[in-house]
Amino acid sequence: MGALTPLLLPGMLMLMCGLLLHAPSRHGARVKKPNFIIILADDIGWGDLDANQGEGKSNNTPHLNLMAEQGLRLTDFHSPASTCSPSRAAILTGRYGLRNGVTHNFAASSVAGLPLSEVTLPRLLQKAAYHTAMIGKWHLGHNGPYGPTSRGFDYYLGVPYSNDMGCTDAPGYNLPPCPACDSALTRSHERPRDCYSKVGLPLMENSRIVEQPLDPWTLTERYASAATRIIHAARQRGRPYLLYMALAHVHVPLTPPPAPDASGADVFAASLREMDRLVGAVKSASDAADKDDTLILFTGDNGPWERKCQYSGSVGPFVGKWQRSRGGGSAKQTTWEGGHRVPTVAYWPGRIPANTTSSALLSGMDIFPTLLSLAEVSPPVDRRYDGIDATNVLLHGGQTGHEFLFHPNSGAAGRFGDLQTVRTGTHKAFYITGAAEACGGATGRPQLHEPPLIFDLQRGEAEETPLRVGTPEYRAIAERVARGREALLWDIATDGSVSTADYSANASAAPCCEPTRAACRCNAHTDTHTDTHTDTHTHTIG
Ligand SMILES: *[C@@H]1O[C@H](CO)[C@@H](O)[C@H](O)[C@H]1NC(C)=O
Ligand SMILES: *[C@@H]1O[C@H](CO)[C@@H](O)[C@H](O)[C@H]1NC(C)=O
């Protein structure tokens, strides 16, 4: 590990300490390494978990509430970025986008993905004899060597990117941004142009397209049965496993079972309840197979997509008032709390104390070093990491997380990857503020803050009133965050293992089973269920 730290910067040591203090191997080898199930919800808000909202406010997540009661609720846990690809890249590499190269989203036509120089969590567990499986949304490049089965997963079933990035014949609530390409249109000469600029949404198994366009209404059941199959097969095999489940819930298009009243709010709540039942089904399968040896972690990839109005989730009290009063959204795509503070629950009977909470400042990047530590696997020493080993928080009631946690710009105006804000203790400093599009279309301008805008989240989780510049408290925090930020920037600047992602696009890079057919159709199902699909897919999970 010595080779990692030629520069003994305090900030850097802090960032690395989780890895440097890697738990020594226990005396007498553990008979069994633990299984890991990581469930990542899409576009979920901190307030969407009932248990975060307090008694009686809502009743949409009973299975997750129970999991929290039997485990640990992490209340100050953050997605590593405020949009999809950079968040997932940081989770799987334990590194900020400034190091792993993924600073914004990939497109359906992206030629590449997560740089091949990056080492992934599944790859390291795979080498340590874990069976590694992924279900759901990948969004880190789908071409050739960039797909999940080339990046450390033994098995993959899912959608290569977001479920609104393509046409489907059976769109859900808030349609994908292109008209459905029905078979009548593919025969006619009056094909809508959009139908050709977007390919049909594919469902992939390993590196093969199994259905295109995919019927999104079938995903929940497919994911539930695949997860159950994987858990049972792992038990038969007698090898530990990693199951990474990146759900389509609750990203639009929403495809919940029919709601009694199809108003927008009910559609979102029904979708949330469906997600909760899916999580419950996975937990039941795991409990039945290997309860005492399985860690389940539920978290989110970023905050709610506010501009989807009634089809987006709840940030709870983290409403970003400073930004809102100036126009624009303050959730997904932004570095306001609503953009990255995500509902998180950890469950491991007998190992994680039941019915506990921790307000340790943690990040999705910590999943990488924490799982490796629990599996007693050492990460490669030829690179630097930003995640910390949170074993002490998970297993021993620890309340200490990151000394500094940085939030990169990943979608609001400004340069991608820029470290806009710094968290330390209960304080949060903004060097740059930026807004996303709000429901209704309002946007705000990005603004530089010199000196930084500093909020104390303990005094106001809504980020409304910044500290007065020049007070002793302000000066102390400003000095501290400047030091932390400089240390990190210096550490990245001197990191010989920084990767650069290729974001080039080429229409022919989109996954397509039959390029000559509209929407790249294959295995096209019969076109009999245009409006009746909600009735034909009854939901049997839960
Ligand atoms: C969990 O903790 C809460 C609050 O401390 C308490 O009201 C509740 O009864 C506990 N639940 C269980 C199952 O122990
Ligand atoms: C796009 O990809 C196709 C097929 O691989 C290739 O022939 C073409 O030159 C590429 N176009 C660009 C602009 O790179």
Residue whose pair of structure tokens reads 């570095």 in the numeric block: 335
Minimum CA distance residue for ligand 1 atom 4: 355
- What is the CA(68)–ligand 1 centre distance, in A? 10
Ligand with the closest atom to the CA of 69: 1
Helix (H) or strand (E) holding 205: strand 203-205
Verify whether ligand 2 is closer than 6 Å to residue 506 (CB atom).
yes
Regarding the beta carbon of 508 and ligand 2, being less than 6 Å apart is answered: yes
φ, ψ for residue 253, nearest 5 deg = -75, 135
Is the distance from the beta carbon of residue 70 to the nearest atom of ligand 1 less than 6 Å?
no
Provide the pLDDT for residue 273: 96
Ligand sitting nearest the alpha carbon of 515 = 2
Q: Which atom of ligand 2 is nearest to the CA of 507?
A: 1
Pairing of the two strands 155-158 and 203-205? antiparallel
Residue-level pLDDT at 518: 72
CA dihedral sign of residues 339, 298, 231, 229: negative
Number of the ligand 1 atom closest to the C-alpha atom of 355: 1
Measured in Å, residue 64 CA sits from the centre of ligand 1 at: 15
CA atoms of 127 and 87, how far apart (whole Å): 24
Ligand number with the minimum distance to the CA of 512: 2
Q: Is there a cis peptide before residue 349, judged by omega within 30 degrees of 0? A: no
Look at residues 360, 316, 326, 341 and name the one whose alpha carbon lies nearest to residue 466: 326
Q: CB of 504 within 8 A of CB of 146?
A: no
- With a 6 A CB cut-off, is 504 part of the ligand 2 pocket? no
- Beta-ladder partners of 454: 429
**Active-site residue (options: 139, 251, 340, 533):** 139
Our measurement of the distance from residue 37's CA atom to the centroid of its chain's CA atoms, rounded to an integer in Å, reads 14
Digit-by-digit pLDDT tens for the chain (542 residues) are: 333 333 333 334 334 333 333 334 444 445 689 999 999 999 999 999 999 998 878 999 999 999 999 999 999 999 999 999 999 999 999 999 999 999 999 999 999 999 999 999 999 999 999 999 999 999 999 999 999 999 999 999 999 999 999 888 888 898 655 555 555 555 555 555 545 457 889 999 999 999 998 999 999 999 999 999 999 999 999 999 999 999 999 999 999 987 555 555 689 999 999 999 999 999 999 999 999 999 999 999 999 999 999 999 999 999 999 999 999 999 999 999 999 999 999 999 999 999 999 999 999 999 999 999 999 999 999 999 999 999 999 999 999 999 999 999 987 667 888 899 999 999 999 999 999 999 999 998 899 999 999 999 999 999 999 999 999 999 999 999 999 999 999 999 999 999 999 999 998 899 998 877 777 888 644 333 333 233 223 333 32
Q: Is the CB of 355 under 6 A from ligand 1?
A: yes
Rounded to the nearest whole angstrom, what is the distance from the C-alpha of residue 177 to the centroid of ligand 2? 25
> Residue 428 is inside which H or E element, if any?
strand 427-433
Task: Tell me what pLDDT residue 507 has.
Answer: 86
Query: Which tokens belong to 430?
Result: 């903004």
Picking from 439, 387, 449, 411, the residue whose alpha carbon sits closest to that of residue 335 is: 411
Taking the centre of ligand 2 as the mean of its atom positions, its distance from the CA of residue 109, in whole angstroms, is 11
* Residue having the nearest C-alpha atom to atom 2 of ligand 1: 355
CATH of domain 32-404+514-526: 3.40.720.10
| DSSP states of 226-287 | HHHHHHHHHHHHT--EEEEEE--TTSSSB-PSPPSS--HHHHHHHHHHHHHHHHHHHHHHHH
Q: Quote the DSSP letter at residue 6.
A: S
Whether the model clears a pTM of 0.85, i.e. scores above it, the answer is: yes
- Ligand 1 pocket test, pick from 72, 355, 356, 357 with the greatest ligand atom count within 8 Å of Cβ, gives 355
Say whether 249 is catalytic.
no
Cα 200 versus chain centre, distance: 24
3-state secondary structure string, 101-130? CCCCCCCCCECCCCCCCCCCHHHHHHHCCC
The pLDDT value recorded for residue 397 is: 96
Give the whole-angstrom CA distance, residue 488 versus residue 131. 35
* Local structure of residue 23 (DSSP, 8 states): P
Protein residue with least CA distance to atom 1, ligand 1: 355
Ligand 2 pocket: which of 109, 506, 512 to mutate (most atoms <8 Å of CB)?
Answer: 506
Tokens of 226: 């695949």
Q: Is 69 in the pocket of ligand 1 (CB under 6 A)?
A: yes
Is residue 325 in contact with ligand 2, taking CB distance under 6 Å? no
167 a catalytic residue? no
- List the one residue out of 482, 389, 423 whose CA is nearest residue 17: 389
- Residues 68/40/542/216 CA torsion (nearest 10 deg): 160
> What spacing in Å lies between the alpha carbon of 520 and ligand 2's midpoint?
18
Residue nearest to atom 10 of ligand 1 (CA): 355
DSSP characters over 310-378: GGS---TT---HHHHTTSSB-STTSSSHHHHB--EEEE-TTTSPTTEEE---EEGGGHHHHHHHHTT-P
Please check whether residue 117 is in contact with residue 102, taking contact to mean a CB–CB distance below 8 angstroms: no
Structure tokens at 481: 């965050």
Distance 146 CA to ligand 2 centre (A): 18
Catalytic residue among 84, 195, 512, 520: 84
- Which residues have CB under 8 Å from 432's CB, separation 6+? 335, 409, 414, 418, 420, 421, 446, 447, 448, 449
Ligand nearest to the CA of 72: 1
Residue nearest to atom 11 of ligand 2 (CA): 506
Query: Residue ranges per domain, the chain?
Result: 32-404+514-526
**Smallest-distance ligand from the CA of 510:** 2
Residue whose CA lies nearest to ligand 2 atom number 9 = 506
Q: Which residue has the least CA distance to atom 6 on ligand 1?
A: 355
